[in-house]
Structure 1
């Protein structure tokens, strides 16, 4: 086994003499906005895609899943590529791949073509996130870096929050193809600004090391196995031989990957960075946010329409209470840091908000007044918003700048991978809890049967169709039974999410104990040359 030493971190790159960085930052942020907007908004286009392409359920679901799987597989790979060939070159390549893939998606004539194009877009999106964060870490320092990463987190949050609304407007007004056409147009603008981005990042020629092909191949295979198991778990069953076999194979390949990386001179993932407990702790913060916030962002609208009986427009307005803090809190956190509040203190506060908010959201009921849950929703959103962007800057501060791309890739791999896991686990847990309640109570309703089919349809939020499938004589009464069952299952899962968040928060607190991070108390604004240009 080779002995590896991590060189001391180089001093931050100063901005003196470099051209203005407003345009480069805007270009990176535009690309960063498109990726999460695509993740959260594509699902809105699925009904139109299905109608146009006559696609079955499984290939239609892979319009979304193909992007997520490819993103998770290649985020770390792109981070390593960025450190080798240069962050700007890798970022530009990812933006170009995303633009081409989005254009191909807009022109797709069948669903398999669209699935392939979305997978290609996921590869490009992985480069944008990994290399975009690394570019910001290199181009800015001091308070300017804190503000830039705050904008990074804010823009990513805006993309997630507004993705469904913007996609809905495009689908309703112009058709589903325009969802992808707009993505392609936005990335073309980003590509036009690449020369300005290159001017903001000095000496970005890369390390010149060779790409770790064995490590990259093993990691991609492991992530394909893992994410496929997660995606198929709710369809095949989490304890089915196929899913358990995929999980076992993923763990085996990851074990081989660790052995290979530890013996490589230029590994894709330098395992020495994982020996820094503070870095690992910071990388787990987005994982907690995935379970405490992203799951609610994905599934709370279904609860509001299914159990609470609200229409889609009302549910969308209510969701603003959850998403609004994500738009405001990243910049608020950056301002607090520049005024002397330790960044790690804000991160701990954000984790506490996630746990407290999730617990307080158990106040939800079909007839609850929105004012009663407004504060819990705002607190939960603040839990996501306070750490978004801030945690990226803090984590990359701990890493040798030469490894910033790899470190950003690892952080974003955990971020997206945990989102996929959290959403899949939530869906499976809700379906299981709801299935138990339906199975236990369906016999009380005359004519009702097919508990499995009814529960599966109800878990998707379509209670009316579930009641029709049941054959119940009293359809309205059966819908009320399903609404009560959905409400009960939702609360069971919510308690579970709060428990997972609490455990993760405890682990993170232990890992971060005693470490303040180099940027926890930055110099006052204006003292660093890097403070100019944002």
Structure 2
């Protein structure tokens, strides 16, 4: 069981505090990417050291998520949230003051650890503060907040970089999180009663394993997937994660209770953000490059076109939450959302260097609607299957699947895209430049055609992955025919609006 929340509890302020932090964390991912050229020019750096401004954040963010979730159950969700937000703010301020690229990369790694604390404990706070329809609305708002951060990050950062410089981008992140911290006193504290200690061995093994796996994935495109260093990282990562599972099965107080992931419905809902990464996040990362490189659009124009995909992410989560509260099947909504990724990616193959925006508006809107519906329903439904005792652990695992898959899938997608371009342009080095939007090293029309061909194949592959994921997740979420009395965390517990 979980201890009763203590301290002053203001549900409205609690929701506002969590939402404000949840806007900032993804904003720090999408916004920092826009600041990279300015950082490189100011600090006289390029290549891998510059890219680690992004990689350092993503690596620690993914690796420490599960640890932060278990810490939240152990020492308190509000305390972990405050510590994570404070660490995020300190890292952002350190980035503002960083005199060189090495210290900037370290500051970003620190911010990533703080972001893990915010994400893991924030969802657990909402899960233990709200119930029923109010919980569905709260998690729908959480989805909108995350979407708002992703969508507005590039725009705000672009404006700040052009007017005040790249350091102002990280300063904004620190200020917004500091405002959220000011309201933490109104958040009730809660923790699990039956967590006597942190599984330190499990924590070390998990962080090392996932860290090695993510590091291998992000280094693969640069060093080559068959290079000894990358292969060693990938093998070590998989091996350590296997060791982690063995350690958890024998631990009296595991970092991850394996009965949680044996719940097929909870595990299926944790796979929803993985499919979302394939169907939505990869496009969010690589489509602007195509529009600017092959399409010849300005950065501002490409960002405007991308609003067709990001706009629904802001509007659809409350719609999804409202539909669930009115009796619409959560399973049906999630299945429809994932199917939209498959259909939208396949439909987007109509894109070409001179394709009018009106032609690609349909698939972009469909993909954005799918993301918005999945953001608005998936997390809340997952947490409804977990007892409050393990809210932090469950949120940590859910977001580990989300952030870990983003780091790995984006790297693999990029490598596949470069490889496919290389088959048309005949040079791996030239293919990498084309994939980055630089078509100045050859005939632009030929290079644009090669980029388009590669993108089409990647979109078809993504559509196939999303279709398979849709079928598998829908099957796992299906209500068993033989209903039995179940606890909320049981494998056959019905999703909200379903009857056992």
Q: Which has the larger radius of gyration?
A: 1
2:133 matches 1:143:
yes
Equivalent position to 1:304, from 278, 284, 291 = 291
SS in 1 for 2:375: coil
- 3-state SS of paired residue (1:520): coil
Question: What is the 5 A alignment of 1:40-439?
Answer: 40-198=30-188, 201=189, 203-204=190-191, 207-439=194-426
| Superposed displacement of residue 180, structure 1 | 0.8
Match of 2:497 in 1: 521
Structure 2 Cα separation of the partners of residues 135 and 431 of structure 1: 42
Across the aligned residues of Structure 1 and Structure 2, the Cα RMSD in angstroms comes to 2.0
Whole-angstrom CA distance in 1 between matches of 2:214 and 2:450: 30
SS of 1:128's partner is helix
TM-score normalized by the length of structure 2: 0.94
Aligned-partner SS, 2:64: helix
Could you tell me how far apart the structure 2 residues matched to 1:58 and 1:212 are? Answer: 34
State the 1:413 CA deviation. 0.3
Counterpart in the other structure of 2:428: 452
Q: Tell me by how many angstroms 1:86 deviates.
A: 0.8
The partner residue of 1:483 within 444, 448, 451 is 448
Judge conservation of contact 1:105–1:177 (CA < 8 Å) in 2: yes
**Aligned residue in 2 for 1:475:** none
Q: Note the C-alpha offset of 1:206.
A: 5.6
The answer as to whether partners of 2:61 and 2:113 remain within 8 angstroms in 1 is: yes
- In structure 1, what is the Cα distance between the partners aligned to 2:21 and 2:432? 37
Runs of 5+ unmatched residues, structure 1: 1-8, 440-450, 468-477, 524-534
| Conserved 8 A contact 2:195-2:253 | no
| Cα distance between partner residues in 1 of 2:166 and 2:5 | 45
Checking the alignment, whether the CA contact within 8 Å between 1:85 and 1:207 is kept in structure 2 is: no
**Distance apart, 1:204 and its partner CA:** 4.0
The alpha carbon displacement at 1:240 in A equals 2.5
User: Could you tell which deviates more after superposition, 314-323 or 503-512?
Assistant: 503-512
State which drifts further: 409-418 or 54-63.
54-63
Q: Which residue of 1 aligns with 2:484?
A: none
- Partners of 1:137 and 1:396 within 8 A in 2: yes
CA distance in 2, matches of 1:308, 1:61: 25
* Pairwise CA distance, 1:520: 2.0
The CA deviation at 1:363 is: 1.1
How far apart, in 2, do the equivalents of 1:300 and 1:197 lie? 39
User: Residues 216-243 of structure 1: CA distance to partner in whole angstroms, max 9, x if unpaired?
Assistant: 0000100111011011010111232322
SS of 1:463's equivalent in the other structure is: coil
C-alpha separation in 2, matches of 1:176 and 1:370: 30
Show structure 2 runs of 5+ residues with no match: 481-491
1:475-530 Cα offsets, whole Å, 9 max, x none, are xxx1111111111111111111111111222221222122685552199xxxxxxx
Q: Which contiguous aligned blocks of 4+ residues in structure 1 show a shift greater than 3 angstroms? A: 12-15, 17-20, 203-208, 515-519
Q: CA 1:93–1:480 in structure 2 vs 1: closer, same or farther (change >3 Å)?
A: same
Q: Secondary structure at the match of 1:109?
A: coil
Deviations 1:267-305 (A, max 9, x none): 000111111000110000000000000000111111111
- From the superposition, tell whether residues 92 and 419 of structure 1 become closer, same or farther in structure 2 (CA, over 3 Å): same
* 1:345-366 C-alpha deviation (Å, 9 max, x unpaired): 1111101111111111111122
Instruction: For 1:167 and 1:114, locate their aligned partners in 2 and report how far apart those are by CA, in whole Å.
Output: 17
